[in-house]
Structure 1
Amino acid sequence: MGKTNEIERKVTKFGNSLGISMTDALKKVGLGQGDAVTIDANPLTGEILIKKAKKISLPEGISPDFMDTLADVMTEYDQTLRGLKDR
């Protein structure tokens, strides 16, 4: 596993939000303004894990709107779909 550097920062107010500045850490992992990340917060350990979002290319003919609609349907009918899986 690669080398990690622990950096201490204070939580500050940014407008109506709380945040931390971490420009150097973001640059070290190749992140810049506008890049997408995923955030996993674990309240039991107090840890927050930030990762580069993985960009996935959609197959030809599949639009982002279709994927959004599919996600909505799967969420709405989650229990029904799980029940069908077990038959």
Structure 2
Amino acid sequence: MSKVMGMERKVSKFGNSLGITMTDSLKKIALEVGDTVNIDVRENDGEIVIKKVKKVALPTGRSPDFLDTLSQVMEEYDETLKGLKDR
């Protein structure tokens, strides 16, 4: 079971943006400068969930263009693919 870490922070202004500092929290999930995160905004709950993106190595012979094309196709045919899953 994972440990939940609670903390309270004030929203600050950083240039034209709003932000919070949370260095200790980011260190707990091993985030470093340059890492990529997914941010889910849950408006109904007033929650923001930040998850570290797991790096995936491409199989030999596959270019990054392949993944871009695959993502576009999956997004375009999302409803169709979901329908096929339930058959």
| TM-score using structure 1 length | 0.78
CA distance in 1, matches of 2:78, 2:29: 36
Partner of 2:30: 30
Partner of 1:15: 15
Structure 1 residue identity aligned to 2:7: I
Moved more, 68-77 or 13-22: 68-77
What displacement does 1:42 show?
0.6
| TM-score using structure 2 length | 0.78
The percentage of counterpart residues that share the same residue type is: 63
Give the alignment's Cα RMSD to 1 decimal: 2.2
Structure 1 residue identity aligned to 2:56: I
Assess, with a 3 A threshold, how the Cα gap between structure 1 residues 45 and 60 changes in structure 2: closer, same or farther.
same
Matched positions, count: 86
Gaps of 5+ in 2: none
Gaps of 5+ in 1: none
CA distance in 2, matches of 1:2, 1:73: 36
